[in-house]
């Protein structure tokens, strides 16, 4: 819906301010709708479709999405309590064809064991309640079903060596996490690489990010960057090019999957 509404507005040659002037819909509200961060009310959707001159078939399709989106299959009842940006990310990820994920300090969420995820969330959100921690962990575990569905998500993950060395949850948890990564690397749709400490400075040192593309070529690629000040969804061509180039640099500096597997095997076999 978000992508189609953006296309319709562009075809009508209207800015968000133009839409606000003609419909009274706040520009910030329109931005959130077009970024899939908010579901439009029916009257809001109808006003937009009227303004954009949408065809009857477009109206029917988008109204069906609007009705269905109130009960999205990827949302569990408790997901409404998750931060809005994280819930939006879950939706994008569920529709993606490929996720390219660089992490500087953490094992990627799609590859985390439950014990590791629990330790990460608890340590990273010290003010969170036990309920909030459990909701986060449960959501993370559910997301991993994307890797085992009939048409699995393609995951290419690169991490700094710090991510596999830091003992999140203790040595036992990390050894189990290393075994989990080795398991995943046996799947043809999963690639995992490590950037060793001895590679020195590299393009990923400023922070983690994810790049997603989607099965429908009409859907724009997306970059997601989580920050303490809030999560960002980037989709301009310049931003996409910049992060794709950054990921290519990280692929080049990281050791290959075989050497990565050797490193993880040593970690998994480390003594207590």
Using 50, 70 and 90 to split pLDDT, how confident is the model at 16?
Answer: confident
Residue 272 is predicted with a pLDDT of 56
The alpha carbon torsion through 76, 80, 83, 86 (nearest 10 deg) reads 40
How far apart CA 11 and CA 29 sit, in angstroms, is: 20
Give all domains of the chain, ordered by start, each with its CATH number.
2-71 (1.10.260.40), 77-268 (3.30.870)
Residue 3 is predicted with a pLDDT of 84
Average pLDDT, the chain: 89
- Closest C-alpha among 134, 143, 119 to residue 78: 134
| DSSP-derived 3-state class of residue 123 | helix
Tell me: pLDDT of 86 over 70. Answer: yes
pTM for the structure as a whole:
0.75
pLDDT for 181-199, tens place per residue? 999 999 999 999 999 999 9
In the chain, pLDDT over 70 holds for what percent of residues? 92
Structural tokens at position 268: 């998994």
pLDDT for 209-246, tens place per residue? 999 998 877 677 889 998 877 778 888 889 999 999 99
- 3-state SS record for 164-204: HHCCCCCHHHHHHHHHHHHHHHCCCCEEEEEECHHHCCCCC
pLDDT for 39-78, tens place per residue? 787 888 899 999 999 998 888 888 887 766 544 444 455 4
pLDDT for 105-160, tens place per residue? 999 999 999 999 999 999 999 999 999 999 999 999 999 999 999 999 999 999 99
Residue 271 is predicted with a pLDDT of 53
Residue 72 is predicted with a pLDDT of 47
């Amino acid at each position: 819906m978000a992508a189609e509404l953006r296309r319709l507005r562009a075809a009508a040659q209207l800015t968000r301010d133009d839409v606000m002037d003609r419909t009274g819909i706040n520009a910030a509200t329109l931005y959130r709708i077009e970024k899939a961060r908010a579901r439009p009310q029916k009257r809001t959707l109808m006003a937009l479709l009227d303004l954009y001159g949408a065809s009857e078939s477009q109206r029917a399709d988008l109204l069906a999405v609007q009705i269905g989106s109130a009960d999205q299959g990827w949302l569990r009842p408790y997901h409404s309590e998750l931060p809005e940006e994280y819930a939006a990310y879950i939706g994008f990820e569920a529709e993606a064809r490929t996720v390219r994920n660089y992490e500087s300090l953490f094992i990627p969420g799609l590859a985390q064991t439950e014990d590791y995820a629990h330790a990460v969330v608890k340590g990273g959100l010290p003010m969170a309640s036990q309920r909030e921690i459990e909701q986060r962990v449960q959501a993370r575990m559910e997301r991993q079903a994307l890797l085992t569905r009939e048409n699995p998500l393609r995951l290419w993950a690169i991490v700094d060596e710090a991510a596999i060395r830091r003992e999140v949850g203790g040595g036992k948890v990390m050894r189990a996490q290393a075994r989990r990564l080795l398991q995943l690397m046996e799947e043809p749709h999963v690639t995992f690489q490590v950037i060793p400490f001895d590679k020195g400075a590299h393009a990923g040192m400023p922070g983690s990010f994810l790049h997603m593309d989607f099965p429908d070529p009409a859907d724009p690629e997306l970059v997601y960057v989580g920050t303490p000040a809030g999560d960002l969804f980037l989709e301009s061509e310049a931003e996409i090019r910049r992060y794709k180039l950054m990921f290519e640099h990280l692929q080049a500096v990281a050791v290959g999957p075989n050497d990565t597997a050797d490193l993880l095997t040593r970690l998994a076999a480390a003594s207590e």
